[in-house]
Structure 1
Amino acid sequence: MNNLTLHVLNTVPFSNLNRDDTGTPKRAVVGGVLRGMLSSQSIKRAARSDYEARSLDKSIRSVNLGGIIADRALEINPGLDPKAAAAAAKKLVSALVKNAGGEEKEGKESGTSSWLSLEEIETAAAAVATGAEQGPADLFSEPGVTGSLSIAAFGRMFAANPNLNTAAAIAVSPAMSVHKAVIETDYFSTVNEDPKAEHGGAGFLGVASYTSGVFYRSVTIDREQLKRCWTGITADTARAQLELMVEALIYKLPSGKKNATAPYVAPLVVLAEEQSYRLAYDFETPVLPGSDGGYGDPAVRRLAEQREAALEFDKGNFGIALAAGTAAGLENFSAETTGVDGIVTAVVDWILQ
């Protein structure tokens, strides 16, 4: 079995972790009702940021990779002509990405974002610093391969050189509330504390939007793809790096307005399933509150029921299964119960088989 899927149920208290251009929590209509949503991009960004901060396996996504490469080349060779360095770096990056904004103006960023590991940036900068003729393929040991676990996990695209794209080894779904969501409006003000002010009271009035709920998301790891695209899989540090990545995928959520609320709690359920065919669970029929209120307990029961139905439908699609979490009823998942450390260790063992 080549896939392992993590299913996570999280209570997300009153918060606005991921908002749209109007400042409203992201949302979508599913099963005929409005649901709260955390985009897959925001979840991947949160996991990647946490992983890279703790592992020091860093990468840079930027619209100004040429400038970053040129600056590093000048550090390597201070005698290099800055304009020549900028031109050489721009030529190298342009061979990877198309300039969506047309011709660049001097001192302006291209407007086209791309993603390189620090190792790849260093390789490019060394070539610029020494004046070596280098094409974009020379940045990589082979097409589609990288030393960055983040890039290998989430994939990247080079619009001008698609044969160098890295296919994602980890698929991340949006997190969706399992029930109808309500967007709340909070009226707030800031107080004018100037004792000499002609008018006391509020110096500013405004509104902010928030929501809350129980959210479901899934993460599927393609073991063979990860082994194909990540050169670090055979390194001595591979286990430690993978542990940090799996922990980040379990724990990390977006950080919008995180200091204005208390948005993070331990997951209700983390279910790890080995699968032949990648499958998630859905909550197309919205969960209703329990008899004592709250969506947590009925959401946990619904997830357990869906797993049981999936096993009855095709037991051969599933292999090892482990469940951890803070909710009651983990014994109903037909899985070995453990703590989060047990989940992380089992997932990393599975990847490194």
Structure 2
Amino acid sequence: MSLFLEFHLIQNFAPSNLNRDDTGAPKDAIFGGQRRARVSSQCLKRSIRLTAAEHDLLPQENRGIRTKKLKTLLLEKLSDRDPQEAAGKIEVALAAAGLKLKDDGKTEYLLFLGESEVAAFAALIQQHWDALVVSADKKSKKDSKAALPSDIVRQAKTLLDGGKAVDVALFGRMLADLPAVNQYAACQVAHAISTHRVEREFDYFTAVDDRADPDEPSTAHIQHTEFNSATLYRYAVLDVNKLRSNLQDDQELALSAVAAFTEALVRAIPTGKQNSFAAHNAPEFIGVSLRHATPLSLANAFEKPVAPRADKALTQQSVERLAAYDDKLGAVYADANDQWLFLDLTEHWPDGKGERARSLPELVQKVRALIDSKLGE
């Protein structure tokens, strides 16, 4: 049975520049023929990962790390060994697994590995220290790999199994040299867009020299920065069965992953220019829908942009639009067993449309219990 856990958030940000383009301006997009504020999917996913780590929502061994510095990480774990000797053996062991290092010791591209995968590589090197022979004349890694016993090569390749790292299971990975260990993401995150039309604004500012002489201008620097303020619609969907599969069918870990993702998604706020704007604005509405037939983004509720009104906030209008569009879409595409959970600070989500939570911890608990009941069917 298909289980798609969807997250629909309405979140109003004060003036800010959370996610910049190459010119330093807030990212945007044309949607429904109108310019909208935008926060990219990549930015949001990184914020979710960092938030989960910051709030310690998952054990260290079930987290991932994205880096080119795998060799450095392994040297840290082999700190009881001679660094120069360890460096050579690390290169041989990684070559056995099919991972290449450049002359600067970094991998050719960013790797997304589970913490337990890194630890397993360190353990492999410790276990087969004497067998990992580095030739004195610095032959190529291929030659060093060819000299290894076949069982070590086999073992090295089996270490890249995802390591039950939740963020790797959620967001997937691609290793160009090792397609067999690629992992398809269990989660999709949309670019957040404003529910209304936006215009860029400019902040002109100066920096003053505190020690300027009386006869010289105190302004030592003049600059401007762009910003906007927007009510965003954020959408993400999680394939629960795929998540459990990516986590090697560990159902308890999958449930913990769902709970951690729910909390991290809600709490995640990009860090762009926060020292200048401090836009720490929590979502006004969090809707969680469990769908069986197909995922259904509700972004088209805002194809016609919400218009400002004196008597009703943009967040309130956005929540009303969201509910009405879900009813319209659900009548055609939804399954009779679909369910809603929600936390609504606007008080404009319809009564009876799903089960209400009064706090984030309560919502997280309800989401976990819902998925637990469905996985047990």
Amino acid at match of 2:26: P
* Identity over aligned pairs, percent: 25
SS at structure 2 position matched to 1:75: coil
Superposed CA deviations along residues 148-185 of structure 1, whole A, max 9, x for unmatched, are 11111111111111121111112111111111111111
CA distance in 1, matches of 2:8, 2:38: 16
CA distance in 2, matches of 1:83, 1:150: 28
Tell me which residue corresponds to 1:219. 236
Superposed CA deviations along residues 220-257 of structure 1, whole A, max 9, x for unmatched, are 1111111111148345x665554332101122121111
Cα shift at 1:134: 3.5
CA distance in 1, matches of 2:163, 2:86: 29
CA distance in 2, matches of 1:250, 1:47: 8
Larger radius of gyration: 2
Tell me which residue corresponds to 2:319. 300
Whether contact under 8 Å (1:72, 1:122) holds in the other structure is: no
Cα shift at 1:305: 0.9
CA distance in 2, matches of 1:60, 1:68: 10
Tell me which residue corresponds to 1:51. 52
Tell me which residue corresponds to 1:91. 95
Tell me which residue corresponds to 2:70. 65
CA distance in 1, matches of 2:309, 2:39: 24
Q: More displaced, 265-274 or 126-135?
A: 126-135
Superposed CA deviations along residues 82-138 of structure 1, whole A, max 9, x for unmatched, are 441353255257x257x8xxxx3x325345111111111111122234336335532
CA distance in 2, matches of 1:173, 1:82: 43
CA distance in 2, matches of 1:90, 1:240: 31
The alignment's TM-score, normalised by the length of structure 1, stands at 0.88
User: Per the alignment, do residues 249 and 197 of structure 1 end up closer, same or farther by CA in structure 2, a change over 3 Å counting?
Assistant: same
SS at structure 2 position matched to 1:260: helix
Superposed CA deviations along residues 6-49 of structure 1, whole A, max 9, x for unmatched, are 11111111001111121111111111111111111111111111
Cα shift at 1:318: 5.2
CA distance in 2, matches of 1:19, 1:96: 33
1:124 pairs, out of 121, 125, 129, with: 121
Amino acid at match of 2:366: A
Aligned residues: 341
Whether contact under 8 Å (1:19, 1:25) holds in the other structure is: yes
CA distance in 2, matches of 1:109, 1:37: 33
Is 1:257 the counterpart of 2:273 in the alignment?
Answer: yes
Amino acid at match of 1:137: K
SS at structure 2 position matched to 1:330: coil
Q: More displaced, 274-283 or 314-323?
A: 314-323
RMSD: 2.5
Superposed CA deviations along residues 285-320 of structure 1, whole A, max 9, x for unmatched, are 211112436422221111111011123223426512
1:348 pairs, out of 368, 372, 375, with: 368
Tell me which residue corresponds to 1:279. 296
Cα shift at 1:196: 4.2
Amino acid at match of 1:246: T
Whether contact under 8 Å (2:188, 2:238) holds in the other structure is: yes
Alignment of 1:187-206 (within 5 A): 187-196=204-213, 199-206=216-223
Is 1:107 the counterpart of 2:104 in the alignment?
Answer: yes
Tell me which residue corresponds to 2:169. 152
User: Per the alignment, do residues 139 and 108 of structure 1 end up closer, same or farther by CA in structure 2, a change over 3 Å counting?
Assistant: closer
2:262 pairs, out of 246, 265, 269, with: 246
Amino acid at match of 2:354: A
User: Per the alignment, do residues 139 and 198 of structure 1 end up closer, same or farther by CA in structure 2, a change over 3 Å counting?
Assistant: farther
Whether contact under 8 Å (1:72, 1:125) holds in the other structure is: no
Tell me which residue corresponds to 1:18. 19
Superposed CA deviations along residues 50-100 of structure 1, whole A, max 9, x for unmatched, are 11231343322112223322x13531533761441353255257x257x8x
Whether contact under 8 Å (2:71, 2:105) holds in the other structure is: no
Whether contact under 8 Å (1:88, 1:128) holds in the other structure is: no
SS at structure 2 position matched to 1:299: helix
Superposed CA deviations along residues 162-220 of structure 1, whole A, max 9, x for unmatched, are 12111111211111111111111111111101154762411111111111111001111
User: Per the alignment, do residues 185 and 245 of structure 1 end up closer, same or farther by CA in structure 2, a change over 3 Å counting?
Assistant: same
CA distance in 2, matches of 1:330, 1:128: 57
Whether contact under 8 Å (1:36, 1:211) holds in the other structure is: yes
Amino acid at match of 1:125: A
Q: Which ranges in structure 1 are unaligned for 5 or more consecutive residues?
A: none
CA distance in 2, matches of 1:309, 1:44: 29
